[in-house]
Amino acid sequence: MSAETADTAEPTGLTTGSADAASRRREQRGWYFYDFACSVYSTSVLTVFLGPYLTSVAKAAADADGFVHPLGIPVRAGSLFAYAVSVSVVVAVIVMPVVGAAADRTGRKKPLLAAAAYVGATATTGMFFLDGHRYLLGAFLLIVANASVSVSMVLYNAYLPQIAGPDERDAVSSRGWAFGYTSGAFVLVLNLVLYTGHDSFGLSESDAVRICLASAGVWWGAFTVVPLRRLRDRRVTPGGEGAVGSGWRQLMATLRDMRRHPLTLSFLLAYLVYNDGVQTVISQASVYGSEELGLDQTTLITAVLLVQVLAVAGALGMGRLARVYGAKRTILGSLVVWTLILVAGYFLPADAPVFFYLLASAIGLVLGGSQALSRSLFSHLVPHGKEAEYFSAYEMSDRGLSWLGPLVFGIAYQLTGSYRDAIISLVIFFVVGSVLLARVPIRQAVAAAGNPVPERI
C-alpha cells in the first residue's frame, strides 16, 4: 500500500494540467484493477460454483423431508443459498453507513478498502474447507464474503467522481466493468480446465470445486494490491465526531441531505428496484440451471464464461450507445431486454444447453452496460464532498438492499418447489424499475446536485 495518507494527499476534486492529467490516468488504471480483483468472486463463487455446491452440501445434510435446520429453523435445502445471500445483504446494510461516513469524515478510503477487501478474500479462500455436511460453514463464509465485497464497492465507487471528469465517467466506469469481466472470463477458463479434468489432476469433483472457490479469494487478495498502490486519499476539512462512532448519525444526516435532492433520491429508488432483479438473476442463475433445467456443471461454467466474454463487449458497446442516445435511454433499453430474458427463461426447456447458451449471450450483452451506466449516471447526481456517503446509499441499492429479490426467489421455491415460478417472479422488478427511471428528469437532477450537466446524458 502506498505510504500516502489523507494528510499528504491532494484535496478532493479534479485538477488540471498535464502532470495532473497523467496522475489522474494512473489512478484510473489502478481503479480498474479493483474490478479486476473482486469480480472473480462474483463470477466464479457467487454465480457459478457456490450456489449448486452449497445446495448439494445442504441436501446431503437434510432430513428425510429435504429440510435442514439452522438455528432450529426448518429451511428447504434448495432455498438455503438464496436465504444466505439475503442475510449477507442485511449485514452489509448495517456496516456500509458506518464505513461510508468514516471515509468521508477522515478522507481515508484506502485503508478501509483494504480492510473490506482482505476480510472478503480471506472468507472466500476459507471455502476450501467446505465439504461433507458443513452447510453452516458455507453459509457463514458466504455471508462474510458477500457483505465484504459490498462494503468494499462503496469505497471503490466513491473514487469515480474524484478520478474522472463529468464527460469521461461513462467511459471510465464502462472500462472498469470491462476489466472485471475480462478477469472473470480468464479465471473461469482456468476453472473449466481444472473442473473438467479433475480426474487427470488426481482430484475428486468436490476437491476441484473447493479449489476453484478458494482460488477466487487468492486472486481477489493478490490483485487488490494494485489499486491500493495507485489510488490516493484526499484531504478533508477536520472537525466533527469520530467517524465510526457517528456512522449511523451521519447516515441519518445523509438521508436528510438527500431529501434536499429529491431527484437523486428518485433515481436511487428506481435503481434499487431494477438492480434487485439484476443481482438476483446473477446469484441464482446457476442454481436455476442445475436444479430446474438439469444442466451439468461444465455447461454452467461455459455459459457463464460466455456471459463474461460478451459482457466486455456489451459494457463498451453500451458506453458508446450512451454517447449517442444518453445513459438514461440506453439503460431503459437494457431493462426491456432483461424483461424478455426472464420471460424466455421461464419457458426454457430442460436438458437443452443450446437454448441456455442463447439466453446467456443475451444476459452478457446487457449485464455490464446496464450496471456501468447506472454507476456513472449516479455519479453525476452526487453533491461535491458527499461521494462516499452517497455511494454508500448507492451500494445499498446495488448490493446492500438487494435482499428482496433472493428472498422472493427463495420463498417462491420453498412454497412451490419450482424454480420456474421463482424466476418469473423477478419480472416485476424490471417493469417497476423501468417506470420509475423513466419518470426521473436526469438533466434537471444533475443541475440540482450542483454539478455541470454533460452535453449528452
Grouped pLDDT means (10 residues each) for the chain, 457 residues: 37 51 86 94 90 92 89 87 87 82 81 96 97 92 95 87 80 82 89 92 95 97 95 68 50 74 90 88 83 87 85 83 90 94 92 91 87 86 78 63 74 82 88 94 90 82
Alpha-carbon span 291 to 20, nearest angstrom: 53
Q: What was the pLDDT predicted at 27?
A: 92
Going from the C-alpha of 34 to that of each of 97, 127, 177, the distances in angstroms are 21, 21, 10
Q: What was the pLDDT predicted at 100?
A: 76
Strand partners, 68: 75
Alpha-carbon span 248 to 359, nearest angstrom: 42
Q: What was the pLDDT predicted at 174?
A: 77
Stated as kind and residue range, the H or E segment containing 394 is helix 387-395
Alpha-carbon span 28 to 235, nearest angstrom: 19
Q: What was the pLDDT predicted at 411?
A: 82
Alpha-carbon span 142 to 61, nearest angstrom: 18
DSSP 79: G
Q: What was the pLDDT predicted at 329?
A: 93
C-beta atoms surrounding 303 within 10 Å = 24
Alpha-carbon span 76 to 37, nearest angstrom: 34
Stated as kind and residue range, the H or E segment containing 40 is helix 18-40
C-beta atoms surrounding 240 within 10 Å = 14
DSSP 11: B
For the chain, the C-alpha Rg in angstroms (whole number) is: 21
Q: What was the pLDDT predicted at 369?
A: 82
